[in-house]
Structure 1
Amino acid sequence: MLISLITRPIALVSILMLPFGTALSSNHYTEKQMEALASRVGKTFWLRPQNEKAPTFLTQPRTGAAPLNLQGKNSFEILELTGQASKDPYYKVMFDSGQVGYIDPRLFHEEFNATILSFDPLAEEKKKAEQQAEEEKKRAAWIQSQPWSQAVKDAALKKQPTPGLNGPEVRRVLGPPTRVSKTHGPSKVPEERWFYPDGSVLTFHNGLLSKIEKRQTQPR
C-alpha cells in the first residue's frame, strides 16, 4: 500500500513528461494519460509571451475552431478537461478577464515553462508596487496630520518641500537623499547640501531648509 502511494504521483509526473507526439495524438490517449492531463484541472497558470507571441487558445474545443482574441494581462484557471469520453481532450480555461477558451493539451505541454508558467512572472513587481502604494498612503496621511498651512501640505504631497522645514520633515516629504555634504557657509553657519537623483540640491542652514536648486542631470 505504501509503495503504491509513493509510486502513484511519480507515475503521473512521468506521464505528463512523455513527448506529446504520436503516443498522445487524438484518440490515442491511454486512461493513465487522461488521468494525468486531468490532474491540472483547478490549477492557475500565467502567460509569458515570447517575441510578442502567446500560445493559441480556441473558442471551441475542436480542430479548426476560431482563435480566441485574448484581452488584458492573462492568467487562467483550467476549469475542465473536455472530450474525455471520445479521448479527444481539450483544456477548458477561464482567463482573469472572464474570457473562456480551449487549448489542446499537446500544445499546453509544448508551451509549459516557456510561454505558460505555473507562477506569476510579475509577482515581485506587483509586490513592490503594492509596498510603494502603502508607503505613499502613509506618507500622505503623515503630511495631512502636520500643523502646516494647506499650501505647504499640497506642495509636500507633490514631493515639493517648502523652505523652513527641518531635515526629518524633508525626509518624510521627499525621501532620503543619495548624498549629503556638510560645510560652513561664509558666516560660518553650519550648512548641509542634500543631493537627489533628479538633480535637486537642497541646502540647509542650522537644520532648516533654506534653498532648493534643480540641476540638470548628466546622461549616462
Structure 2
Amino acid sequence: MQLEHPYRTNKKIDWGKAICSIVIVWMVLLTANATVTSSSQYTDKQLDALASRVGKIFWINPQSAKSPTFLSAPAANAATFNPGRNESFEITDLAGRANKDPYYKVKFDTGKVGYIRPEAFLEEFNETILSTDPLADEKRHLDEQTSEETKRVDWIKSQPWSPAVKEAAIKKQPTPGLNTAEVKRVLGAPRRVTKLRGLTKVAEEHWFYPDGSVLIFNNGLLTRTEKAQTN
C-alpha cells in the first residue's frame, strides 16, 4: 500500500498562466513607478525656471503646417484642441507645481483657456510656437496706413471747402480748382509728372497715378482728370 504525502498535490501547474500573471503584475508596478517618477522629475530649481515664462506672450506660427495641441484641463486624459494659426496666448500660471506635476495654464486672445505640459511646450517652441509676433511687420504697416488715412481725413475736414468738395476729397476725388499742394494731400504724391508749355505760355502739368488717373493742372490749379490711354 502506497501512502500519499500530506503536502503533495496531484494538480499540475499551468506555467503559461503563471508567467502571464507575473508579467501583468510587473507591468502594473512599472507603470505606477513611472507615474511617480514623472510627477517628481522636476526639482524646485527647474520648476522656478519653468515658472519664469508665466506672464509672457507667445504666438502660433502661421507658416507651420501643423499647430500645437493643448489640453482643456491639467490632466493627461483631458480633451485636446488645436488653436488657430494666427492666435496668440499668455502663460498665466504653472499649474500642478505643488505636487511637481506641472502644466502651463494659458489664455488665448480669444479668451479660451488651455493647458500644455512644459516638455510638450519645449518640443513645439520655435516650430509651431514663437516668442515674437510673426505678423508684427504686417500689423505695423497696417497701423501706419490707418494713422496716415486718419490724418488725411482730419486735414480735409479742417479745410474751408464746401461739404461737397470735402466729401469728394475724402473719397479721393479731387475737385477742379484745388492747387497742387492740396491735391497731394488728398491723393498723395503722383507716380510721374510731365510738364508742358503750349503756345499760350500756360504752364501745364500732367500727374500720373497708379490707378491710371491723369490729373491735369494749368498754372498750378487742377483743371480736369482723365484716364491714361492704354494701347
TM-score category of the 2 structures, normalised to the smaller one: 0.7 to 0.9
Q: In structure 1, what is the equivalent of residue 27 of structure 2?
A: none
Partner amino acid for 2:136? A
2:170 to 157, 176, 201: 157
Partner SS state of residue 78, structure 2: coil
* Alpha-carbon distance in 2 for matches of 1:49, 1:107: 19
Pair 1:81 & 2:94 matched: yes
Pair 1:56 & 2:56 matched: no
Aligned 8 A contact 2:62 2:85 in 1: no
Q: In structure 1, what is the equivalent of residue 145 of structure 2?
A: 132
Q: In structure 2, what is the equivalent of residue 118 of structure 1?
A: 131
Aligned 8 A contact 2:60 2:88 in 1: yes
Cα distance, 1:175 vs structure 2: 0.5
Q: In structure 1, what is the equivalent of residue 18 of structure 2?
A: none
* Alpha-carbon distance in 1 for matches of 2:127, 2:85: 19
Residue by residue over 1:149-181, the C-alpha shift from the partner in whole angstroms, topping out at 9 and shown as x without a partner, is 211111100111111111001001000111111
1:197 to 210, 216, 222: 210
Aligned 8 A contact 1:199 1:217 in 2: no
Pair 1:26 & 2:38 matched: yes
Partner amino acid for 1:173? V
Pair 1:39 & 2:52 matched: yes
Aligned 8 A contact 2:168 2:175 in 1: yes
2:220 to 203, 207, 212: 207
Q: CA RMSD in A?
A: 2.4
* Alpha-carbon distance in 1 for matches of 2:84, 2:126: 21
Partner SS state of residue 192, structure 1: strand
Pair 1:173 & 2:181 matched: no
* Alpha-carbon distance in 2 for matches of 1:104, 1:167: 62
Partner SS state of residue 29, structure 1: coil
Give the count of matched residue pairs.
195
Q: In structure 2, what is the equivalent of residue 70 of structure 1?
A: 83
* Alpha-carbon distance in 1 for matches of 2:128, 2:229: 42
TM-score normalized by the length of structure 2: 0.75
Partner amino acid for 1:149? S
* Alpha-carbon distance in 1 for matches of 2:47, 2:230: 61
Cα distance, 1:217 vs structure 2: 7.7
* Alpha-carbon distance in 2 for matches of 1:47, 1:150: 47
* Alpha-carbon distance in 2 for matches of 1:122, 1:217: 38
Aligned 8 A contact 2:60 2:84 in 1: no
Partner amino acid for 1:214? K
Partner SS state of residue 26, structure 1: helix
Task: Label 1:109 to 1:69 Cα distance change in 2 as closer, same or farther (>3 A).
Answer: closer
Task: Label 1:168 to 1:84 Cα distance change in 2 as closer, same or farther (>3 A).
Answer: same
Task: Label 1:217 to 1:119 Cα distance change in 2 as closer, same or farther (>3 A).
Answer: farther
Aligned 8 A contact 2:68 2:83 in 1: no
Q: Following superposition, which runs of at least 4 residues in structure 1 exceed 6 angstroms of deviation? A: none
Give ranges in structure 2 of 5+ residues lacking alignment: 1-33
* Alpha-carbon distance in 1 for matches of 2:229, 2:55: 54
* Alpha-carbon distance in 2 for matches of 1:207, 1:138: 24
Residue by residue over 1:113-157, the C-alpha shift from the partner in whole angstroms, topping out at 9 and shown as x without a partner, is 222122222223222222222222221121112222211111100
Matches within 5 A, 1:82-121: 82-121=95-134
TM-score normalized by the length of structure 1: 0.79
